[in-house]
Amino acid sequence: MSTAHPPQDRAGTPDAGDGHPDGAAPTRSRVTFRVNGEPADLTVDHRATLLDVLREDLGLTGAKKGCDHGQCGACTVLVDGRRANSCLLLAVAQDGAEVITIEGLAAGDELHPLQQAFLDRDAFQCGYCTSGQLCSAVGMFAEAAAGHPSHVTDPARPAGRGPVELTPAEIRERLSGNLCRCGAYPHIVAAVEDVTR
Amino acid sequence: MKPYGYVRARSVEEATAAHAAHPGARYLAGGTNLVDLMKHGVETPGTLVDVSRLPLDTVEEPPGGGLRVGATVRNSDLAAHPLVRERYPVLSQALLAGASGQLRNIATTGGNLLQRTRCPYFQDTGTPCNKRAPGTGCAAREGVHRDHAVLGHSPHCVATHPSDMAVALAALDATVELRGPDGERTVPVTEFHRLPGDHPERDTVVRPGELITAVVLPPGTAGLPSAYRKARDRASYAFALASVAAVLDVAGDGTVRHVALAFGGLAHRPWRARLAETALLGAAPTEDALAHAVEAELGLAQPLRDNAFKVPLARNLAHRVLSELAADRP
Ligand SMILES: Cc1cc2nc3c(=O)[nH]c(=O)nc-3n(C[C@H](O)[C@H](O)[C@H](O)COP(=O)(O)OP(=O)(O)OC[C@H]3O[C@@H](n4cnc5c(N)ncnc54)[C@H](O)[C@@H]3O)c2cc1C
Ligand code: SF4
Ligand code: FES
Ligand code: FES
């Protein structure tokens, strides 16, 4: 089942100093989460998305704003190990979350195997979609390993019993939430396949 | 976007109380539809009551059978749940046919049912739309309406309900559990969404402040052969032009013992094809019988100027799915 999020006592604590002058409800709150292993403790406007906070407050500009409406996948990051569109997540709602962005995929100077495969396979042109493709594929590996089916998985296959094999058809379907305007899809699928082999 | 308050609810009681206490409150689950509409200026909440961490994130087997799916279970987890996959395949297939891997990781059962139409005029505050701004007119009726309804629409609104999951739930005879200021109640999914009529601003029968706590899958449809098929403009990550959820159980004597057929993408709510079901129940599911039954239902269709193609599309999808289910039996 889905990871239960323990209720956070500190969660959504309104920042008293930032309320409306007329005494209406505060419109900013303090949140604490971790990004690429580092704690982030900040006061956010309730309207701010996780994408905006990553890019503008934390200087992590790897996650890209393509459409800002969940339609392109350029903003994909991992939240508590699961891939998600950061443009539709409100930052205030992420208190206590563990966020991994493209900046956190490599181990120091050593690229994540998928990053290396993207280089080897020339899996991008302009690169705008790339960080989203990479984070999405890393999330997908975990889903397939956990036996999660996709739209193209044989319906007769029991879920959760052993990993689902990532054939090119599975990869294309599972990565359909990441658009590439340059059309680098064939090389992206090849790079992902390299890592699964 | 105008500033708003934020409250994280820790219990169902806290959620409904916070909703009642804050004018203009909206429940926030995954936010994949609500936040999107807030960015468009269509939703302007005074306060968001965050229900995403309520302890409603489990799938349970009630003593009498069936499954009880908590409102905050994520779409991806529900689709991958072994018991859903095994006993209610149509539901898993419908969920996996919707949105993308990363959206399904965020989207919840409750939020999916309550997502709003994808009519482009509804999302554009610069155009007339009776659903968004009652009394302003319907821009789609004479405008761009290729994706719109062919069944059950009204002069006031021709929008469709976009959920894939809800179509499967309608075919499975699932029910929705609600908790509101006046207590609890249960509504069948088939009566949960409304037809537009004179009040297209009301998508569903949910009353102000009511919280969805669970969706219940009945024991009666557990384990019956079922399937979902969806036609869309690209192979993945697109809303349905038309879709079909079907449950078909053929008895040992070769006659239909149970049948449920629901269409998505054709109406303001998942469309249970009662005429087709009546025609098939107790009959042998021959190719002719299937064709006639589907034809009877789609005879009700009243396509708009630019969406007549949906009628044969839906007919072929329904015929194909039913005929595969009929052929598949042991
Ligand atoms: C690009 C894109 C493509 C998509 N494609 C598809 C598709 O192909 N098929 C499909 O079916 N869907 C599709 N979706 C829609 C998606 O499935 C919905 O946005 C999602 O299911 C909504 O769930 P949520 O938890 O994020 O809801 P939210 O956005 O949090 O809420 C939606 C509504 O429900 C209310 N609400 C939420 N939970 C409760 C509750 N427990 N009780 C009472 N009210 C509640 C909220 O107040 C809000 O009004 C797509 C979305 C996007 C952005
Ligand atoms: S079809 Fe419905 S949602 Fe679309 S413009 Fe007309 S009234 Fe609005
Ligand atoms: S920027 Fe988030 S999906 Fe496009
Ligand atoms: S490489 Fe340019 S959008 Fe994908």
pLDDT along chain A (197 residues), means of 10: 36 43 77 98 98 98 98 98 98 98 96 98 98 98 97 88 94 98 98 95
Across the interface, of A27, A68, A84, the residue whose CB is closest to B102 is A84
Contact between chains at B5 and A27 (C-beta distance less than 8 A): yes
Q: What is the CATH number of the domain that holds A163?
A: 1.10.150.120
DSSP-assigned letter for residue B115: P
Q: Are residues A129 and A84 in the same domain?
A: no
Please report whether residue B305 resides in a domain: yes
- The answer to whether the CB of A173 falls within 8 A of the CB of A137 is no
Buried b or exposed e, range B123-136, using 16+ CB within 10 angstroms: beeebbbbbbeeee
Structural domain tally of chain A?
A: 2
Q: Based on the domain organization, do A191 and A122 belong to the same domain? A: yes
Tell me, in angstroms, the distance from the centre of ligand 4 to residue A170's CA: 21
Please give all residues whose beta carbon lies within 6 A of any atom in ligand 3, as ranges: A 65-68, 70-75, 85, 87
A126 and A93 housed in the same domain: no
In a domain, B135, yes or no: no
In a domain, A19, yes or no: no
pLDDT (tens digit per residue) in B33-70:
999 999 999 999 999 999 999 999 999 999 999 999 99
* pLDDT of the residue at A9: 38
Task: List CB contacts of B329: < 8 A, sequence separation 6 or more.
Answer: B225, B250
How far does the centroid of ligand 1 lie from the alpha carbon of residue B233, in Å?
21
- The answer on A127 and A61 residing in a single domain is no
Q: Are residues A119 and A184 in the same domain?
A: yes
CATH number at residue A88: 3.10.20.30
How many angstroms separate the CA of residue A54 from the nearest CA in chain B? 17
pLDDT score of A158: 78
Is residue A48 a part of any domain in this protein? yes
Q: What's the gap in Å between the CA of A10 and the closest CA on chain B?
A: 10
- What domain range includes position A61? 28-104
User: With contact defined as beta carbons under 8 Å apart, do B214 and B56 qualify?
Assistant: yes
Provide the number of structural domains found in chain B. 2
Tell me the shortest Cα–Cα distance from B100 to chain A, in angstroms.
5
Q: pLDDT at position B183, please?
A: 95
Helix (H) or strand (E) holding B90: helix B89-96
Please give chain B's pLDDT, 330 residues, in tens.
999 999 999 999 999 999 999 999 999 999 999 999 999 999 999 999 999 999 999 999 999 999 999 999 999 999 999 999 999 999 999 999 999 999 999 999 999 999 999 999 999 999 999 999 999 999 999 999 999 999 999 999 999 999 999 999 999 999 999 999 889 999 999 999 999 999 999 999 999 999 999 999 999 999 999 999 999 999 999 999 999 999 999 999 999 999 999 999 999 999 999 999 999 999 999 999 999 999 999 999 999 999 999 999 999 999 999 999 999 865
Whole-structure pTM value = 0.96
Mark which of B29, B53, B77 sits at the end of a domain. B53
Query: What is the number of the ligand 2 atom nearest to the C-alpha of B148?
Result: 1
Tokens of B180: 């509101």
Tokens 């959206």 belong to: B103
- A20 domain residue, yes or no: no
Place of tokens 């906070």: A53
Is ipTM strictly over 0.85?
A: yes
pLDDT at residue B330, rounded to an integer: 55
In B, minimum Cα distance to A6 occurs at: B53
Instruction: Judge if A81 and A60 occupy the same domain.
Output: yes
* Domain extent for B32: 5-53
